[in-house]
Structure formats: structure tokens, C-alpha cells
Amino acid sequence: MHSTIESIRNNFRSDLINVNNHQDLEVIRVKYLGRQGILADLMTQLKDLSADDKKTFGPACNQLKAEFQELHQQTQALLFAREQELIARKAAAFDVTISKPLQQGSLHPYTYITQEIEDIFMSMGFAVADGPELETDYNNFGALNIPADHPARAESDTFWLPDMQRLLRTHTSTVQIKTMREQTPPIAIICPGRALRNEATDASHDFMFMQIEGMLIDKNISIANLLAVLKEFLDKLFGKSLQLRVRPGFFPFVEPGLEIDAQCPFCTTGCSTCKHTCWIELLGAGLIHPNVLRNAGIDPTIYSGFAFGSGLTRLAMLKYHITDIRLIHSGKIEFLEQF
């Protein structure tokens, strides 16, 4: 027993010599003084000794423990003093007069375009609304008059949670429902935000992209109001007067439903951006379906409204001539430095 105690003492001391920082010291404390450490193990061995040996080695083990605790504390104090000295030396060497050229960052293109769009709509009296990206089946589909057999509900499009009741919103139209429940007409909001779809990616499709939703509800709102607002918005965003082309479109939550193309802002005779058609598909829109108003507690015999939803990613691509959507989320510095 005597030689065991001596050997533990020597090992502890030689382990301590190699300690350079608090983490190393903690490893050694646990190894020797921890609840399952070497000393705890030694103490349990005492019970197998004769009464005489217990009298000798019991106090010897306690002394060893006290000695280790003392050395541990001293080493801790030494490390702390060394750290303080290092900090003081660094502070003394810090020269506030040295000026280094700073590498300047820039905002993400999404931030630029979102700020610009928010300014345009706020100047027309719209407020900016927000909503959760984790949504219920009802808010994403049911309340928006999307029947159970609509393809948008298919698992291939939607990121469902394992309970199959909650999902990552597939569009920002969910914010229409939330806002209608929280406010009373007149309501005029836009909501820029993320949408997620379980889709394969290509140059113009990503599984996570930004949309911008718009909604206005009041008495006597018509398609004419929708077109006037959208024209003002697009003209301001692209800095020139753009022609709009309206086509019928089906979205279960609007009636009538429209798809709106804008005259290509980059050419007059056709270019690769507009695939040589001079028109670019921009958004879905329409007059809010009476079922949707009713679902959110608004009387469709008194109020009507319009809604639209555009790919904010697509607007950014058009405005900044970005040819591949995947660049936007790539985090590539060469790409981001251009903004």
C-alpha cells in the first residue's frame, strides 16, 4: 500500500508539470480527485485492509488527498496569474493609432430588394406583416380553400413534419390568413418572407426561396385596384413604365385568378432573360375567394379584396441580372461582393 501511495503521488506531480491551461488541469483533477478518480479508488481499497493497516493508511490517504487539493489550487492560481499577465502584456502592446484598411462588407441582395419593395409599398399605405415559417396544414392549405386533393398538398412539394400536421410553409399566403384574423378591414399589407418546397433545384428553382405576398381588403375592391397597385410597384422597382399582361390563372384562394407578366425590363426585341418573348412571368394574383374571407371571419358580402404573391427571388434575379438562383444562397464572396 505504501508503494502504491508513493507511485500515485509521483504520477500526480509529473502530470501537473505538463499542465499549460485550465482544460488540462481539469482533466487531471477529474483523473485523481474525481468521484471515480484514482483517489476514490484508493479509498475503497482501504476497507479490505486489516485494522492496523487501516490506522496507518487511512490517514496517509487523507493526507494525499489534502496534498493534491492544495497542489491543484496552487496550479490554478498560477495559471490565472499567467493569463492576467498575458492580457496585460497584450493591452500594453495594443496601438490604437495603427490604421489598417478595413474589408467592407455589403448587404445581401435580398436585403436590398426587400428594403426597396417595403419602401414602395409603404409609400402606398401598406404595412409590412410577418408570420411563422412553421405552419399548420390548415393555415397553409385548408383556410386558403385548397382542397385535400390539390397537388400542392402532395408530399413531393411539401416539407412535412413527422406528425404530418405541421409543415414548412410552401408560400407566404399563410400570412393573409393570420393578418385577416388579427385585423379588421380596411387592411393593406405586404409580407416578404421565406417559402420552402420539396423540389429539385435548377437555375430558376430552389427548395428555399423568397416570396412577397400582398393583400388589400376594403369595400368595393376590384381587379382595377389590383392592377393599379401592381403597375405602380413594378414601375418604381424597375425604374421605368412597364406594360403588364394579364392572363387567367387558377389559385384556389382567389376568384377570378390571374397570372401577370411584365414587359421585359431589359430589352425591346427579346433577350435571353425573357427567353426572347419580351414578357416575363412575375406573379399570381386575384380577388380573394369569398370562402377565404369567411374562413378568417370577414364578411364577403361587405368586403372584398385582392391578393398577389410574387417570387421575390425572381424579382431580385431580374433587377440584378442574376442568371442562376442557386448563386443567391451559395454564400460565394465573389458573388456577394458585387452588391
When asked if residue 285 is in the footprint of ligand FA5 (CB under 6 A), the reply is yes
The span from the CA of 189 to the CA of 214, in Å, is 6
Per the listing, cell 385535400 goes with 148
Q: Which is nearer to ligand FA5, 177 or 307 (CB)?
A: 307
Residues 313-332, one symbol each (x = binds ligand FA5 by CB under 6 A, - = not), give xx----------x-------
- CA-based radius of gyration for the chain: 34
| Chosen residue from 109, 131, 193, 286 binding ligand FA5 by CB under 6 A | 286
Minimal distance, residue 164 CB to ligand FA5, in Å = 21
Residue 289 CA to its chain's centroid (Å): 32
Helix (H) or strand (E) holding 182: helix 174-182
When asked if residue 217 is in the footprint of ligand FA5 (CB under 6 A), the reply is no
Q: Which is nearer to ligand FA5, 295 or 313 (CB)?
A: 313
When asked if residue 141 is in the footprint of ligand FA5 (CB under 6 A), the reply is no
When asked if residue 143 is in the footprint of ligand FA5 (CB under 6 A), the reply is no
| Chosen residue from 169, 171, 178, 289 binding ligand FA5 by CB under 6 A | 171
| Chosen residue from 8, 120, 129, 307 binding ligand FA5 by CB under 6 A | 307
Q: Which of residues 19-78 bind ligand FA5 (CB under 6 A)?
A: none
Count of residues that bind ligand FA5 according to CB under 6 A: 22
| Chosen residue from 9, 205, 231, 294 binding ligand FA5 by CB under 6 A | 205
- Residue with nearest beta carbon to ligand FA5: 311
When asked if residue 308 is in the footprint of ligand FA5 (CB under 6 A), the reply is yes
Omega before residue 186 within 30° of 0, cis: yes
For the range 41-50, what are the long-range contacts, defined as Cβ-Cβ under 8 Å and sequence gap of 24 or more? 42/4, 42/5, 42/8, 45/1, 49/1
The span from the CA of 242 to the CA of 219, in Å, is 28
Ramachandran class of 199: left when φ > 0, alpha when ψ lies in -120 to 50, beta otherwise: beta
Stretch that binds ligand FA5, among 35-43, 71-79, 202-210, 236-244 (CB under 6 A): 202-210
When asked if residue 311 is in the footprint of ligand FA5 (CB under 6 A), the reply is yes
Which set of grid coordinates corresponds to residue 171? 408560400
Q: Do the Cβ atoms of 213 and 172 come closer than 8 Å? A: yes
The span from the CA of 110 to the CA of 229, in Å, is 22
Bridge pairing between strands 127-128 and 187-196: parallel
According to DSSP, the residues that pair with 196 across neighbouring strands are 208
Which set of grid coordinates corresponds to residue 325? 438562383
Stretch that binds ligand FA5, among 79-87, 155-163, 201-209, 291-299 (CB under 6 A): 201-209
- Report the length, in residues, of the chain: 339
| Chosen residue from 19, 146, 217, 254 binding ligand FA5 by CB under 6 A | 254
Minimal distance, residue 214 CB to ligand FA5, in Å = 8
Stretch that binds ligand FA5, among 32-40, 72-80, 161-169, 280-288 (CB under 6 A): 280-288
When asked if residue 251 is in the footprint of ligand FA5 (CB under 6 A), the reply is yes
Q: What are phi and psi for residue 258, nearest 5 degrees?
A: -135, 155
When asked if residue 189 is in the footprint of ligand FA5 (CB under 6 A), the reply is no
Q: What are phi and psi for residue 70, nearest 5 degrees?
A: -65, -45
Binding-site ranges for ligand FA5 (CB under 6 A): 171, 173, 197, 199, 205-206, 209, 211, 251, 254, 283-286, 307-311, 313-314, 325
